[in-house]
Amino acid sequence: MNAPAVAATDEQPRPRDDTRLTDALKGIIGRLEVDASKRVGSRSEVEQRWLDDLRQLRGKYDDKTFTDLKDAKKSTLFINKTLPKVNACEARLSDMLFPTDDKNWGIQPTPVPELTQAARDAAGRAEKLVADANEAMSAKNPEQAKAIATEAQGFAEMAQKLRGQMDEAKKRSDAMQSEIEDQLVECNYASECRDVIQDACKVGTGIMKGPIGSNDRVRRAWKPTQQQDGSTLHQLEMASDPRPANQRVDYWAFFPESDCRSMRDCGSTFERHMWSEKELRALGRQPGFDKDAIRRLLRGGPTGALPTYLQQIRAITGENFTGSDKRFVGWEYRGPLTAQEMRDLCDCMGEADQARKYEEVDPLDEIDAVIWFCNGELLKWGIGHLDSAESIYSVYNLEKDDSSPWGFGIPYMMRDSQRAMSGAWRMMMDNAGLSCRPQIEIDRSVIDPADNQYELVSGKIWLRKAEAPIGKVGITTHNIESHQGELEGIIALCNQFIDDETSITVLAQGEQGSHTTQTAQGMALLMNAVNVVFRRFVKNFDDDLTTPVIRRLYDWNMQFSKKEHIKGDFKVDARGTSVLLVQQIQSQNLMVLANLTSHPVLGILLEAAPILRKLAQSMMIKADEVVKTDEKIKQMVDQMAQQQEPEDPRFTTMLKIQNSKDNTALQLGQMERDTAMMSLAEHRNMKIEDIQASLARERIRADSSERKLATEVAVEARMGAAGGSGGFISNPNKGKGKGKAKGNGKAANGSGGAIP
């Protein structure tokens, strides 16, 4: 008699139906393969546009156009204006977004503005209550004053607490910023972004992927192993890399949903991988991949053919590929799965406990999975590692397309003008070939060549026929008219159209052209006007790539990092347009501030070292290499202070005050003297040379009087300092504490007297 069936519970494992699970797994992989094939087919027009962009970038005609031109014996020359424009745009954006010794992003604590205002309000309230308490005490109402003082103390403590919260939030945000900056340096983020910018300039679309967590990245480590004979053997091990990273994704290998308009409304993505046998074996050594499935693939050999676009790209670059055109074509899927599919995957991988979590799933919950598969084999799968459920792909468009996530690059913008320019250039060459030599007309009834060859060569002999009429010409030349001037005008017009269509003029390419400016300020203003268009490109980069990438890294650190001191409520500050685009103007302003450091009044309010560091930074120079550090500056100041002879502070203060008064009096006297001299000149009709000579003599007398006055003041000050300490200036002929200061008409009597 058979035993009764036992219902599957949390304590009792359910019976495993391997046949059903195998069929379910094949169904999941088959559905994903069909979806990937549809997305590849629906993007054929976009890929054809990319091929046209790359041909234009390399100065190549498509096969049909080139064949037609050759068959018609026409010129096949190409004026490549596309490559300089793309290089100029790429270099300009890379220079703006990734300058020397700076970054185009930052981390700021979100509650700081609110906390700042709350702290100010609390402090202001406390000050007002203190004033009210003083008024109450003046009115002899101590009870009311005590109550008001207690309330004021509460507001003061609140303001102090808020300031402490602000300091803590700023400290944590700085720590988070340093952590993210270190992670970006480790994965060479700037280099990856420059590749993304290059893709966007060429075809309009650049793609960044990240953060790739420990399940997706591996690092090589050599582990020492002690042998029996006492020697040490180092073995290479592939371990998960705990640090998050970002990397550029080939736009040919990235397939979002076909009907999405941007990555914001894209629910799933496919990334295509084409592995050789060596690469597939290396994949099998990475953690998380099914080694048995990879072995089955290697035994069967590569069956996938290389995409046709690779052959076309090689034809554009002139590469003659003779290797194998077979690869293991694998896919990386990131997107939602149904609860039943998640249960089947868990059961197939022997994770029964994980499968029970998907027994009852709320329809509002989205299950994001990561699945690697190739030729029907499941290589690796897992759950999306970010709790935010945000896609790890960011797409940057140079010029956006409202109907799809694929943007437009520089070649597409200038396509028609480039074709017109190349057409005019070909016509000019064809016309030059025809017009440089005349067309020859030979009348066979009049002459015959002596060598029976109708060719024009030097010293050729022609025989005139006896029956030819007298005076009839046997050879006639016809000149073809040259149209070089008209065609040059078309080329110049196309060149202007290209500048207008791409908004990248000769100024952006480093040439001044016809915009001749004589001053540095005028050139800076002109460059700032050129940057208006690039400001839009950089703003798109900030919104579509910098902000989401840094935000995902912030989410990753908040979720996985074990460093509690970096965690807090922060926001990403993308600074590409606000800081980096105005380097020329910033450099000009910093030069003005640097000159103000020597100003007698404003100079004491400025910090010279930070200004010089910012100035070097705006000039794309590392500040640490040209400006001394704060420690070295402090040491230098201390050494100078030790070398100088100490002076009496009373004497220094008095002398500064006296010199200020004397300088003011001298300036007023000079103004009165100049006015009197001009009036004298008008009355006496004096010449300008006589006035200038008189002014020179007066200046000499004034300088002599000033030096005499300064000497007297200094002598008296020294004598006063030596004679007593009752005042800043003492009279040696009087007693202590009494003295008289010459030059101001007032006496300072008594102990502690001072100059008013």
Q: What is the 3-state secondary structure (H, E, C) of 682-728?
A: HHHCCCHHHHHHHHHHHHHHHHHHHHHHHHHHHHHHHHHHHHCCCEC
Task: Return the residue matching tokens 């670059």.
Answer: 317
Task: Return the residue matching tokens 């000769």.
Answer: 506
Residues 6 or more apart in contact with residue 663 via CB below 8 angstroms? none
For residue 19, give both structure tokens: 């046949």
Q: pLDDT, tens digit, for every residue of 482-515? A: 999 999 999 999 999 998 888 887 655 555 555 5
Task: Return the residue matching tokens 């094949």.
Answer: 26
User: How large is the average pLDDT for residues 83-107?
Assistant: 83
Round to whole Å and give the CA distance between 118 and 112.
Answer: 10
Q: What is the reported pLDDT for 741?
A: 38
Q: What is the reported pLDDT for 78?
A: 94
Q: What is the reported pLDDT for 639?
A: 77
Among 371, 383, 384, 271, residue whose Cα is nearest residue 329: 271
Q: pLDDT, tens digit, for every residue of 629-657? A: 777 777 777 777 776 555 555 445 555 55
Q: Which residue has the higher pLDDT, 627 or 15?
A: 627
Q: Which residue has the higher pLDDT, 721 or 158?
A: 158
Q: What is the reported pLDDT for 588?
A: 65
Looking at the DSSP bridge assignments, the partners of residue 399 are 408
Q: pLDDT, tens digit, for every residue of 250-301? A: 999 999 998 899 988 898 999 999 999 999 998 888 888 889 999 999 999 8
Task: Return the residue matching tokens 């590749």.
Answer: 195
Q: Which residue has the higher pLDDT, 56 or 637?
A: 56
Residues 6 or more apart in contact with residue 429 via CB below 8 angstroms? 75, 77
Residues 6 or more apart in contact with residue 703 via CB below 8 angstroms? none
Three-class SS state of 665: helix
Please name the helix (run of DSSP H) or strand (run of DSSP E) that holds residue 408, with its range, or none: none
Count the neighbouring beta carbons within 10 Å of the beta carbon of residue 518: 7
Q: What is the reported pLDDT for 672?
A: 63
pTM above 0.85, yes or no: no
User: How large is the average pLDDT for residues 616-622?
Assistant: 66
**Confidence at 726, pLDDT banded by 50, 70, 90:** very low
Q: Which amino acid is at 671?
A: M
Please name the helix (run of DSSP H) or strand (run of DSSP E) that holds residue 103, with its range, or none: none
**Confidence at 702, pLDDT banded by 50, 70, 90:** low
Looking at the DSSP bridge assignments, the partners of residue 464 are 447
Cα–Cα distance list, 222 to 232, 526, 659 (Å): 12, 56, 75
Q: What is the reported pLDDT for 16?
A: 44
Task: Return the residue matching tokens 């016509």.
Answer: 427
Percentage of the chain exceeding pLDDT 70: 71
User: Is residue 667 pLDDT above 80, yes or no?
Assistant: no
The structural domains of the chain, with segments of one domain joined by +, span 25-58+194-223+235-413, 105-186, 650-749
Q: What is the reported pLDDT for 345?
A: 82
Q: What is the reported pLDDT for 59?
A: 93
Whether the Cβ atoms of residue 491 and residue 421 lie closer than 8 Å to each other = yes
User: Is residue 749 pLDDT above 70, yes or no?
Assistant: no
Round to whole Å and give the CA distance between 687 and 679.
Answer: 13
Q: What is the reported pLDDT for 676?
A: 63
Q: pLDDT, tens digit, for every residue of 2-46? A: 333 333 333 333 444 556 667 888 889 999 999 999 999 999 999
DSSP 544: I
Q: pLDDT, tens digit, for every residue of 529-541? A: 566 778 888 888 9
Q: pLDDT, tens digit, for every residue of 404-459? A: 999 999 999 999 999 999 999 999 999 999 999 888 888 888 899 999 888 888 88
User: How large is the average pLDDT for residues 680-707?
Assistant: 63
Round to whole Å and give the CA distance between 572 and 106.
Answer: 6
